[in-house]
Amino acid sequence: MPTLRQLQYLVALEDTSHFGRAAASIPVTQPTLSQQLKELEGRLDVKLVERGKPVRLTPIGREISHRARRVLLEVTEIRQLADLSRTGMAGTIRFGVTPTIGPYLIPPAVVRLHRDNPALRLYIREGIPDDQFAELARGTLDMVLAPLPVIGSGFHIEPLFRESLSLVGAPDHPLFAKKNLKAADFAGQPVLSFDRRHHFHRQAESICAELGAELMRDYEGTSLDSLRQMAGSGLGLAILPELYLRSETGGEGMVKRFVIKDWSATRSIAAVWREGAAFSNAFAAIAEVITAEAREMLA
């Protein structure tokens, strides 16, 4: 029978399509990984790997790798369940968060969580939600905080809160001189956003279509801070979340909100984890803390 380690090597090879990168991701030496995969092929009496450039799995290799992922996830859940039964709210949770939420909402939540659960550790990684949902499905992340909608299946989705979005610009923007601003006044106005891989980009694109504004393609931010700074310099307008505008990290020091009589926008934030995860109760408790912090900031 295959060993769990051999199944892990096969999954790593499918993820990377490269023996060296697969070995480094585990980590083991490349000869060890190659030898163990050959042994796995021998045990199963089937060819799993097409050794070329790039390396690919055979059709049966892909099917076995798909099933191996489920086996490895189940083993991880068994270990976590055992840890949880001994320690309660403890251990390390791999937590994914989008850069449009993490910098201003997670710090106060971490303070509260550590105060109440000193044995709990959060390994926090910022990233693009679509990519992090894929990592969640693979088991390399345990929980993700992201805007709705969620892409993928097999997830528990816990809606947490809704926040408004504001259109902002440099304080000396000509439109601030106009009274009773309407959506039509923003037709043709340049609007900054993240690159197209981000959910925030897609929402900005939808808002621009609604207002008749122009989404800028040449200047894309990598954080809410960069959007605020570019907008403050007069490069274009920006769409910023309410919590960011109320936070110490963000604020309205260099930009001003437009009050638009006939327009408003919001987004919904959710916590996401795998259905049936061993740490589901812990994830739900973390989600409650994040919601409480958000509500305090929005009060």
Between these two residues, 131 and 1, which has the higher pLDDT value?
131
**Across-strand partners of 260?**
181
Note whether 88-161+268-298 and 163-264 share their fold.
yes
**Would you give the distance in Å from CA 148 to the centre of its chain?**
11
pLDDT at 174 over 70: yes
Token readout for 95 is 């937590």
Question: What dotted CATH number matches 88-161+268-298?
Answer: 3.40.190.10
CATH number of 163-264: 3.40.190.10
pLDDT of residue 87: 60
| DSSP state letter for 260 | B
Instruction: Give yes or no for a contact between 269 and 163, defined as CB atoms under 8 angstroms apart.
Output: yes
Cα separation of 3 and 263, whole Å? 59
Q: State the amino acid at position 105 in one-letter form.
A: L
- H-only helix segments in the chain: 4-16, 19-25, 30-44, 59-87, 102-116, 129-138, 199-211, 224-232, 242-246, 280-298
Is the model's pLDDT at 88 over the cut of 70? no
Domain positions in the chain: 4-81, 88-161+268-298, 163-264
CA–CA separation, 181 and 261 (whole Å): 6
- Name the token pair of 49: 């790997």
Please state which CATH class domain 4-81 belongs to.
Answer: mainly alpha
> For 210-253, what is each residue's pLDDT tens digit?
999 999 988 888 899 999 999 999 999 999 999 999 988 888 88
Q: Are 155 and 275 in contact (CB under 8 A)?
A: yes
Q: What is the average pLDDT across 31-49?
A: 93
Give the torsion through C-alpha atoms of 253, 256, 257, 261, to 10 deg.
160
Closest C-alpha among 225, 241, 244 to residue 233: 225
Q: What is this structure's pTM?
A: 0.75
CA atoms within 13 A on the CB side of 117: 20
Whether residue 90 has pLDDT greater than 70: no
Q: Provide the CB-side half-sphere exposure for 215 (13 A, CA).
A: 19
When comparing pLDDT for 81 and 164, which is higher?
164
Token duo for residue 247: 């936070």
Omega of the bond leading into 59 within 30 degrees of 0 (cis): no
